[in-house]
Amino acid sequence: MPPSDSPRGRRIVLLRHGETEWARWGKHTGRTDVHLTELGESQARQVGPAMDALALRDPLVIVSPRQRAQETAELAGLKIQRTWDALAEWDYGIYEGMTTPEIRQQVPDWTVWTHPCPRGEQAEQVHTRCDLVLSVAHSQLVDRDVILVGHGHFSRALIARWAELPVSEGRRFAMSPGAYSVLGFEHGAQQVISHNVTTEGAR
């Protein structure tokens, strides 16, 4: 029997890590390992029960290697089954640790979606990485659902690619700290079932 197209069948859940100090101040956090704030820990604890309510099918939990993602998964009560470099955040190169206003002092109108990241990762590379991650997740959906615990920009890029849009269209999708989005199907078409769902502790 083919997998169900119902809201409870064949789902990929994207979970962004909880708040960090760098995220609070809008600093681009790619390679740097930073820990959750108290609020971030609260967000992670509260998202666990919220995701339990999704009644996922024996979910495969894959997590970015960054500490903030690992902490979020653990505090949410998820059983981590794989840590995967492919889920790491966008590599911002020389812009690591900088805010957008700071970067725009050098490059007016800069965004990660529309401009290069010198010595970092470009949109074409992120596109390739997204498609790899989604291909692996999709391959599991006959038997089980998948939870991908990662980061803000990369999760938004994953949503864009799932919707068959260019990575640059990730700018259309917000992704708050401690929030999750659910990807699935309707009559065979890939769709975003729910998006940027936050719990009481999120902001």
Task: Tell me if 25 is assigned to a ligand binding site.
Answer: no
Q: Is residue 141 part of a domain?
A: yes
Domain total in the chain: 1
Q: Is residue 2 part of a domain?
A: no
Residue span of the structural domain in which 101 resides: 10-196
Residue 39 belongs to a domain: yes
- Does residue 38 surpass a pLDDT of 60? yes
Is residue 21 marked as binding?
A: no
User: What is the rounded CA–CA span in Å between residue 203 and residue 187?
Assistant: 34
| Sole residue written with tokens 């809008």 | 26
Amino acid 8: pLDDT: 54
Q: What percent of the chain has pLDDT over 70?
A: 94
Asked if the structure places residue 5 within a domain, the reply is: no
For the whole model, what pTM was predicted?
0.94
Give the model's pLDDT for residue 130. 98
127 is catalytic: no
- The catalytic position among 19, 41, 71, 89 is 89
Rounded to 5°, angle at Cα 185 from 69 and 68: 5
* CATH classification at residue 174: 3.40.50.1240
User: Is residue 101 in some structural domain?
Assistant: yes
| Residues across the chain | 203
Q: Is residue 103 part of a domain?
A: yes
Please give the pLDDT value at position 68: 98
Q: 20 among the known binding-site residues?
A: no
Give the number of other CB atoms < 10 A from CB of residue 104: 14
Residue 140 lies in a domain: yes
Is 74 annotated in the active site? Answer: no
pLDDT tens, 140-182?
999 999 999 999 999 999 999 999 999 999 999 999 999 999 9
- In a 10 Å sphere around its CB, with 0-12 CB exposed, 13-18 middle and 19+ buried, how is residue 79 labelled? exposed
Mean pLDDT of all residues belonging to the chain: 94
Q: Is residue 113 part of a domain?
A: yes
The whole-number average pLDDT for the span 37-42 is 97
